[in-house]
Amino acid sequence: MKEETGAVKRQEEKVGITAYLALFFALVFFSGILGELSKIGDGKWAWLGAFDYVTLCGKFGILGELTEGSGTLAANFRGIGGSGPRDAFLFGVSLIPPIMFALGVVRIINNLGALKAASKLLTPILRFILGVPGSSAISLVSNFQSSDVGATMIKNLKEEELINEKEQLILTAFEYSCPAIMVNYFSIGAAVFAFLEVPLYIPMVVMIVCKFIGGNIMRLIAGRLIKGAA
């Protein structure tokens, strides 16, 4: 007997090789791995930087050059020693170009089906790592891109009775912490990138691990919570 519902239909959409390649490219491009590799040796691997997000972002031009001992020049238009809203504004402006670049690339990658590929890869292990059925994979993975879409899918999954209340709580706990991580990390998180000395993928991986930890905390207590609330 066929029991195809909206969520399950989405799951079974064919995911081609392009989607997996797009996903792989996204992971490599944004991770910072190639940026690190391009620095080793004496310039032999510098070309790898062309496929690294941070390297490709470039930099603002310097304000000029001073002869030694004649003072200090600011690194860019933001100047030196700014403070308050004025400084905040120019800082915010300086963040915009890399954010636009990142989100443009993310959109292309998603249009190529990278998210669908990711959800196909997650489906078999979801029951083990989070205690939710494989049909939730697309919601989980959509949450990486958009808080609203991921949450709407949770509601749909519950309405279609593909998940029960416990699984609904687990998924929500997963999605509520660091929602839209792919977008927010490269836009809002970008504010601190200039101060980091680790490749970009490290904080992001830790945040994703925390999302799973949060989901599993809920997995442990959901039963009791639901009984207590009944």
Applying CB under 8 A, the residues found at the interface with other proteins are 83-85, 87-89, 91-93, 95-96, 99-108, 111, 147-148, 150-152, 154-155, 158, 168-169, 171-173, 175-179, 181, 183-185, 187-189, 191-192, 195-198, 202-203, 206-207, 209-211, 213-214, 217-218, 221, 225, 229
Sign of CA dihedral 180, 182, 183, 185: positive
User: How many whole angstroms from its chain centre is CA 166?
Assistant: 26
Beta carbon nearer to other proteins, 43 or 228: 228
What minimum distance in Å lies between the beta carbon of 44 and other proteins?
A: 27
What minimum distance in Å lies between the beta carbon of 199 and other proteins?
A: 11
213, 170 in Cβ contact below 8 A? Answer: no
What minimum distance in Å lies between the beta carbon of 145 and other proteins?
A: 11
What minimum distance in Å lies between the beta carbon of 90 and other proteins?
A: 10
What minimum distance in Å lies between the beta carbon of 195 and other proteins?
A: 4
Beta carbon nearer to other proteins, 118 or 182: 182
Beta carbon nearer to other proteins, 45 or 101: 101
Beta carbon nearer to other proteins, 33 or 105: 105
Q: What is the 3-state secondary structure (H, E, C) of 140-203?
A: HHHHCCCHHHHHHHHHHHHHCCCCCHHHHHHHHHHHHCCCCHHHHHHHCHHHHHHHCCCCCHHH
Beta carbon nearer to other proteins, 35 or 214: 214
What minimum distance in Å lies between the beta carbon of 43 and other proteins?
A: 25
Beta carbon nearer to other proteins, 55 or 184: 184
Query: Burial, 164: exposed, middle or buried (Cβ in 10 Å; 0-12, 13-18, 19+)?
Result: middle
- Cβ neighbours of residue 179 closer than 8 Å, sequence gap 6 or more: 143, 147, 150, 151
